[in-house]
Amino acid sequence: MRSSALFDAPSRLLVKVCGLTRQQDADACAEAGVDLCGFIFHPASPRGVTPAVAAGLHSHGMARVGVFVKQSAGEVLAVMDAARLDFAQLHGGQDAAFCDRVGPERVIRVAWPQRHVDAAGLNAGADRASLHAELAVLAPHVRCFLLDAGTSGGGHGAVMDWAALRGL
């Protein structure tokens, strides 16, 4: 499936494996039917790679996603070009103007619903409203959202309370 059509079927579950650093892992992902393969361009990550390493990994038709945290839009665009990326997954609180510069059709913006959670779960009031407002402001400027179960960063293995997000 072409990367531009991946998000056109809203009921289709997409699988993304992130943090690829070796060809044998990319091969295993492709064999397992993974839709998107991710490369981390955050220097603090133990799974971070250079654009040259990512470019050298064959993705077997999987869409290629770069994970970015605090780089400038210019840096993101340069890495996307050098690493042959289809999408930029933005984790650093980038605003609408930043997303527009990268290209809304190429941006996967991360949101953290858990930041809007209290001890009883996702609030039906102000916290849920603030999450909805955050998504509504950015929606015209991104291809899609990736909802992360943590409160910051990624790769922590926390489980999302999907039922609390129903109707969002």
If one counts every other C-beta atom within 10 angstroms of the C-beta of residue 12, the result is 10
For residue 2, name the pLDDT band (cuts at 50, 70, 90): low
> What backbone phi and psi angles, to 5 degrees, belong to 107?
-105, 125
Compute the average pLDDT of residues 12-21.
90
Residue 53 is classified by DSSP as: H
Taking only the tens place, the pLDDT of each residue in 37-73 is 999 999 889 999 999 999 999 999 999 999 999 899 9
Compute the average pLDDT of residues 149-156.
64
Domains of the chain: 3-147 (3.20.20.70)
Residue type, 37: C
CB 36 within 8 A of CB 63: yes
Measured at the CA of 103, the angle between CA 18 and CA 140, to 5 degrees, comes to 100
If one counts every other C-beta atom within 10 angstroms of the C-beta of residue 94, the result is 25
If one compares 13 and 153, the residue with the highest pLDDT of the two is: 13
Mean pLDDT (the chain) is 85
User: Does position 100 have pLDDT exceeding 80, yes or no?
Assistant: yes
Check residue 29 and give its pLDDT. Answer: 97
Nearest of 89, 78, 81 to residue 40 by alpha carbon: 89
Check residue 99 and give its pLDDT. Answer: 96
Residue 100: exposed, middle, or buried by beta-carbon count in 10 A (0-12, 13-18, 19+)?
middle
